[in-house]
Amino acid sequence: MARRKIVKIDEEKCNGCGQCVDACAEGAIEIIDGKARLVSETYCDGLGDCLGECPQGAITIEEREAELFNEAATKEHLEARAHRGEKMPCGCPGTMAKRIEREPAHTTHASMGSIPSELTNWPVQLRLVPSNAPYFRGADLLLAADCVPFALADFHSRFLRGKPLVIGCPKLDDAEYYVEKLADVLASSSVKSLTVVHMEVPCCSALTRIAEAAIERAGVDVPLRDATVSIEGQVIQEECIERQPSGKGG
């Protein structure tokens, strides 16, 4: 530890826009639970490239006791993130993690005759969700293929109600990244169960294998349900997948 200049972030002023994340070449700042946070003192060189990028004036430089900037560790950190496919956490304000509060379904827009949404979290894309988002804790998690909500008319009422949602496409995206990201979610949030809903096309069934691999990698024993949707919009199969306990959990 030494007395040196280092970034200070005022979370009360921060609106999670993420402009500082893009400005920090060392990857020392990330958006976590909707706020910019310094992830490690060793990644911050204290030069303040992020200062001028904050529209809220939430970032300053202070002089205090802090771990020394470690160039080698910073390089490893950036390389590891690039290997996972994470150039930087998206800085768009629209990707800030948030819980959506819903009125009871029987009262929402009843007079208007519209069907209420059951979505209770944002974002939903597996690449964008924070692994430790509070809405995952102790939850029954739903993993759906991108196409499912378009094909299945009652997706919200049949599968989504009461569950946080993550979505992905096993054909177009990096399956190994999905396994690692989903494993992080399962390991850090004490998820109670995982339901996978995918289309009947062969490439989409890979989502189930991703879920199984993520459970194994996380070392948790999470009940896994699997549902298959036809391209005509019918649920053609629902089952519980029996798994051997991993033996890795604590």
Q: Does residue 244 surpass a pLDDT of 70?
A: no
Q: Does residue 200 surpass a pLDDT of 50?
A: yes
Rounded average pLDDT over 163-180: 93
Rounded average pLDDT over 65-84: 85
For the chain, what percentages of helix, strand and coil (3-state, to nearest 5) are there? Answer: 30, 25, 45
Q: Does residue 89 surpass a pLDDT of 60?
A: no
Report the mean per-residue pLDDT for the chain.
Answer: 86
Q: Does residue 88 surpass a pLDDT of 50?
A: no
Give residue 45's pLDDT: 93
The larger pLDDT score, comparing residue 106 to residue 197, is at: 197
Q: What percent of the chain has pLDDT above 70?
A: 86
Give residue 80's pLDDT: 81
Q: What is the pLDDT of residues 105-135, one digit of tens each?
A: 544 444 456 788 999 999 999 988 888 888 9
Give residue 181's pLDDT: 92
Q: Does residue 4 surpass a pLDDT of 50?
A: yes
Q: What is the pLDDT of residues 35-73, one digit of tens each?
A: 889 999 999 999 988 887 788 899 999 999 999 999 999
The larger pLDDT score, comparing residue 250 to residue 203, is at: 203
* Biggest distance spanned by C-alpha atoms of the chain: 65
Outline where DSSP puts E strands in the chain.
2-9, 29-32, 35-38, 59-66, 98-99, 121-122, 140-145, 165-168, 193-199, 224-229, 235-241
Give the pTM.
0.64
C-alpha–C-alpha distance, residues 139 and 192, integer Å: 6
The larger pLDDT score, comparing residue 112 to residue 232, is at: 232
